[in-house]
């Protein structure tokens, strides 16, 4: 009998612990739901602000049918992946290497960094970008054909 009552006490103790955990989880769930409603309201207001403006009529005094009927709004797209620009890729490659590099080495690093180009001569494109960055003093020239940050 003593062991049976001890088992009952242990079961009651565990049930009490489980009930406490469930109550805490329900409280947390309610808190998360209220936060969700706040974030959804913020998202809706942001979508309204980002929506494309409707084209306005010409200012010559006459209404033009093109501008007054069926204005098309562009859909809002979130989480669109950003492309890696060539100048940012070059800067990233030179910074990460920490040493001066020539155009061929920069080109290899830029391709590894994820920059995609449709140019027929990508090396020439990289050279032109490096030259423009030199003019803007974003990078410096170590010696002929060797560049660094």
Question: For residue 17, which phi and psi values (nearest 5 degrees)?
Answer: -65, -45
**Fold category of 86-148 in CATH:** Arc Repressor Mutant, subunit A (1.10.10)
Burial level of 107, CB count in 10 A (0-12/13-18/19+)?
Answer: buried
Q: Which residues pair with 146 in a beta bridge?
A: 102, 143
Rounded to whole angstroms, how far apart are CA atoms 100 and 109? 13
pLDDT value at residue 61: 58
Q: Residue 20: its pLDDT value, please?
A: 92
pLDDT, tens digit, for every residue of 22-76?
Answer: 999 999 998 888 888 888 888 887 777 766 555 555 556 555 555 555 555 566 5
123 vs 45, higher pLDDT: 123
Rg of the chain over CA atoms, in angstroms? 31
CB 147 within 8 A of CB 134: yes
Q: Per-residue pLDDT averaged across 94-123, rounded?
A: 86
Across all residues in the chain, what is the average pLDDT?
80
Q: What percent of the chain lies above the pLDDT cut of 70?
A: 77
pLDDT value, residue 16: 93
DSSP H helices, 51-121, are 65-68, 86-97, 103-113
């Amino acid at each position: 009998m003593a062991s049976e009552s001890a088992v009952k006490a242990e079961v009651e103790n565990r049930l009490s612990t489980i009930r406490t955990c469930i109550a805490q989880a329900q409280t947390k769930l309610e808190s998360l739901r209220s936060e969700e409603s706040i974030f959804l309201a913020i998202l809706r207001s942001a979508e309204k602000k980002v929506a494309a403006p409707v084209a306005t009529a010409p200012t010559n005094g006459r209404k033009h049918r093109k501008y007054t009927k069926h204005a098309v709004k562009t859909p809002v797209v979130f989480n669109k992946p950003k492309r890696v620009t060539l100048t940012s890729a070059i800067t990233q490659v030179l910074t990460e290497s920490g040493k001066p590099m020539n155009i061929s080495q920069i080109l290899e690093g830029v391709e590894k960094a994820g920059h995609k180009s449709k140019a027929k001569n990508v090396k020439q494109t990289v050279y032109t970008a490096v030259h423009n960055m030199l003019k803007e003093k974003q990078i410096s020239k170590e010696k002929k054909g060797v560049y660094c940050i």
